[in-house]
Amino acid sequence: MNANFLQTPITYLKNVGPNRAEILRSELGITTYYDLLQLFPNRYLDKTHYYKINQLQPSGADVQVVGKIIHIKTVEQKRGKRLVATFMDETGQMELVWFRGHKWIRENLKLNEPYVIFGRIARYGSTFSMAHPEMELLSVHQKGLKISMQPIYPSTEKLSAKGITNRVLSQLVQQLFLESKGQFSESLSAEILHELKLISKSEALLNIHFPKSQDLLTKAQFRLKFEELFFVQLQLISKKLIRKQKIKGMPFSEVGQNFNAFFQEHLPFELTNAQKKVIKEIRKDLGSNAQMNRLLQGDVGSGKTIVALLCMLLALDNGFQACMMAPTEILAIQHFNGLKELLGAMEVDIALLTGSTKKSVRKEIHENLQNGQLKILVGTHAILEDVVQFQNLGLAIIDEQHRFGVAQRSKLWHKNEIPPHILVMTATPIPRTLAMSLYGDLDISVIEELPPGRKPVRTLHRYDSNRLKVFGFIKDEIKKGRQVYIVYPLIQESEALDYKDLMDGYESIARDFPLPDYQISIVHGKMKPADKDYEMKRFVEGETQIMVATTVIEVGVNVPNASVMIIESAERFGLSQLHQLRGRVGRGAEQSYCVLMTSHKLSEDAKTRLETMVRTHDGFEIAEVDLKLRGPGDLMGTQQSGMLNLRIADIVKDNQILKTARYYAIKVLKEDPALQTDKNQPIHQSYSRIMKDRTLWNYIS
């Protein structure tokens, strides 16, 4: 069946018409035959078996029985009436009951004719009954599409109210199969079908809607999930290939004075094998003629900053400038100070540009960038302003990129005639499955080991009833000269409540840790930025031993002397937030601790989150658990959840299928980048239609 047939507006399908078409569009997004075909059932009722009345059990299951109606009567009840029919087969009798629609049912039921009934079974006394059964004359049932397992389609209250029941949806899909004669054009190559032993497109569609057996349903699901993920990957990977061919990069062929001097004289510690591997991958990118677009993932404290600096020094050695952009001023300042410290006595001009940089300093930065004297610029969104012009920007590093929009990132591209190389860094571990779907068009590097000398943070779960012991432990740590974070949750909808929690907590801590023995800083969202910075500074410089805060400290405070993180109401935090907060401690050589405080009342999900935190430090494992608990849409936030609006596949449950789909997408594009060969024509036609109809995946990374 050709693609044009499937683009027919749904109004033209028999039994639809304009009113039903409008409801199908507004409730289920169905505007064409193709959309209806892609409305896959949520679950199935097994209609493979016909029961005899004497085999029925009071199990509340849906069953199918063949028999005849021998008698109908109306029974008065407290409210209204019910219609009761006596239904029999050769083994016994049961009752069929209707509480509404009596007139229509009475007029249409035929006595002593064989019917197939289907519905949920109940028992009253010794008699079995079925309320509002689905009924079909046996003669009609034998002529129809043999549906052994009944599909249950997605529905809404509005659809049901307008009479578009599951049965109606099922009949519309059957009508579509009758009009198309069940023939649909193939969308995969014969080679892929053969290698993966996939059933044909027509067979898969028939068996996803009207499975002939459990086995065929499983084959249909695998085939359609593979196909959906294959086309997502095809788009991501071809985007990557096109970019590498069309967008020429500036080759960094020299490893010169800056890189070598830093590597030999200023490197504070031996690089880990993971860091060496990542630098190798980046150098390979920078040495090719294509623009680099790489995502660097590494847990908090894994040493991404050193990798970033080495890359910037490569840019300098090849006559280019570099910049590093962070989402907040605190983080930008921290990166700037960290880089200055690492560079030590090396003569490399580096500057910091944020929203609060003084006008006179700004002017000087702008001039030195344009004349090429300033080599490295660190900053916030301020870097994106039009007035910031580089002489020759060769490398842009973006930290925690999910906090920047697409439009903002594209501004960096236009800071140079040839787009700079881009390195995106994140300490938020992205599960591999999600990374393959969301960032499939970026190359990905991972630093999966911590620098030597770092001890893993010991994580403990304590209930509120253990609070006095926890306070005793804090006092012991402070006696050893350590510092402590105490963090309270922040949930936007209940800001007043959160503020009260924080202030109540602060007062009780101030009582238990009185002046002058203890100094306490407090930081929360209602404070002025200058006050926040003042309090942070006191803690960073060791003037205060305890920092009471909301999650403002989640990203970017580096205090190696802080060895204890207490998280209050830990059950109210998501896993990735807990992991980020834990990463604030364990930055020095001392043993650090993270204590998760909760009430005794915990949901199953909260228990899973807390157990995961106590059990593992592996950010990727934590991210995988988070993905299972929250689903891909939630995990990436609203701006990217639409991307994962898949019709049948689930990137968490179908992670193996996703890997297979990616492998085949890479294989096909390597052999035939333009999909021009005869064998890939089915793929080419389907791909062209997807690109024309739905640029679903166009705004990724």
pLDDT for the residue numbered 643: 45
Burial-class residue 112 by CB neighbours within 10 Å (0-12, 13-18, 19+): exposed
Contact 566, 460 (CB under 8 A): no
State the CATH number of the domain containing residue 91. 2.40.50.140
Instruction: Single out the residue in 114, 146, 178 at which a domain terminates.
Output: 146
Total number of domains constituting the chain: 4
Q: Which two tokens stand for residue 330?
A: 């605190």
What is the DSSP secondary structure assignment for residue 56, as one 8-state letter? Answer: -
Q: What's the average model confidence in pLDDT over 211-215?
A: 83
Amino acid at 202: S
Read off the pLDDT band of 427 (50, 70, 90).
Answer: confident
Whether 407 and 309 share a structural domain: yes
| Pairwise CA distance, residues 286 & 165, whole Å | 59
pLDDT band at 698 (very low <50, low <70, confident <90, very high): very low
Q: What is the pLDDT of residues 127-183, one digit of tens each?
A: 899 999 989 999 888 877 666 688 889 888 888 888 899 989 999 999 999 999 989
Same-domain status, 481 and 520:
yes
Residues 600 and 631 in one domain: no
Strands of 392-442, DSSP E: 393-399, 421-426
Asked if residue 556 has pLDDT above 60, the reply is no
Contact 249, 290 (CB under 8 A): yes
Average pLDDT over residues 112-140: 91
Domain that holds residue 504: 458-616
Report the distance separating Cα 527 and Cα 320, nearest Å: 40
CATH number, domain of 476, equals: 3.40.50.300
170 in any annotated domain: no
pLDDT of residue 258: 92
Q: What is the three-class DSSP state of 375?
A: coil
Go through the chain and tell me how many residues it has: 701
- Residue 160 within a domain: no
Per the listing, tokens 């700004």 go with: 362
- 46-50, 290-294, 553-557, 559-563: which has the minimum mean pLDDT? 553-557
Q: What is the pLDDT of residue 642?
A: 38
> Looking at the predicted structure, is the pLDDT value of residue 640 above 50?
no
Which secondary structure element, helix H or strand E, spans residue 207, and what is its range? Answer: helix 201-209
pLDDT digits (tens, 9 = 90+) for 191-200: 999 999 999 9
**Which of these three, 146, 165, 198, is where a domain ends?**
146
Residues 555 and 630 in one domain: no
- Between strands 483-487 and 546-549, the pairing is parallel
User: DSSP readout, 219-286?
Assistant: HHHHHHHHHHHHHHHHHHHHHHHHHHHHSB--------HHHHHIIIII-SSPPPHHHHHHHHHHHHHH
Side-chain-side CA neighbours of 284 within 13 Å: the count stands at 9
- In the block, residue with structure tokens 């660097």: 296
pLDDT score for 2: 62
Query: Tell me, what's the pLDDT at 311?
Result: 94
Do residues 640 and 576 both lie within one domain? no
pLDDT at 41: 93
475-499 residue pLDDT tens: 999 999 999 999 988 655 456 666 6
The pLDDT, as a whole number, for residue 551 is 64
Question: Are 567 and 508 members of one domain?
Answer: yes
Q: Say yes or no: 108 and 94 in one domain.
A: yes
Tokens of 262: 């830093």
620 pLDDT tier (thresholds 50, 70, 90):
confident
Residues 540 and 509 occupy one common structural domain: yes
Question: Is the pLDDT assigned to residue 696 strictly greater than 60?
Answer: no
What pLDDT does 553 receive? 59
Q: Are residues 402 and 487 in the same domain?
A: no
**Mean of all residue pLDDT scores within the chain:** 86
Whether 283 is covered by a domain: the verdict is yes
Average confidence (pLDDT) over 387-394: 92
Question: Has residue 540 got a pLDDT over 60?
Answer: yes
Looking at residue 695, its pLDDT comes to 44
283 against 502, higher pLDDT: 283
Looking at the fold, whether 265 and 407 belong to one and the same domain comes out as yes
Please report the pLDDT score of residue 483 as a whole number: 95
At 147 the pLDDT is 62
What's the pLDDT score for residue 1? 57
Rounded mean pLDDT, 382-406: 82
Rounded distance, CA 272 to CA 444, Å?
Answer: 18
Same domain, 71 and 120: yes
Q: Which of 216, 64, 202, 72 is nearest to 141 (CA)?
A: 64
Residues 244 and 262 in one domain: no
Last residue of a domain, one of 146, 175, 195: 146
pLDDT (average), residues 609-614: 96
Q: At 456, is the secondary structure helix, strand, or coil?
A: coil
Q: Give the CA diameter of the chain.
A: 101
User: In the structure, what pLDDT confidence band is assigned to residue 664 with cuts at 50, 70 and 90?
Assistant: very high
First-to-final CA distance of the chain: 36
Per DSSP, the residues of 553-603 read GGTT---TTEEEEEETTGGGS-HHHHHHHHTTS--SSS--EEEEEE-S---
Q: What is the pLDDT of residue 259?
A: 92
Q: Is residue 575 part of a domain?
A: yes
294 in a domain, yes or no? no
Within a domain: 439: no
**Domain annotation covers residue 40:** no
Has residue 26 been placed in a domain? no
Which of 131, 67, 61, 129 minimizes the C-alpha distance to 101?
131
Separation of alpha carbons 545 and 28, rounded Å: 57
> What percent of the chain shows pLDDT beyond 90?
48
Is residue 2 packed enough to be buried (19+ CB in 10 Å), middle (13-18) or exposed (0-12)?
Answer: exposed
Q: How far apart are CA 479 and CA 564, in angstroms?
A: 13
Condensed to tens digits (0 to 9), the pLDDT of residues 595-604 reads 999 999 999 9
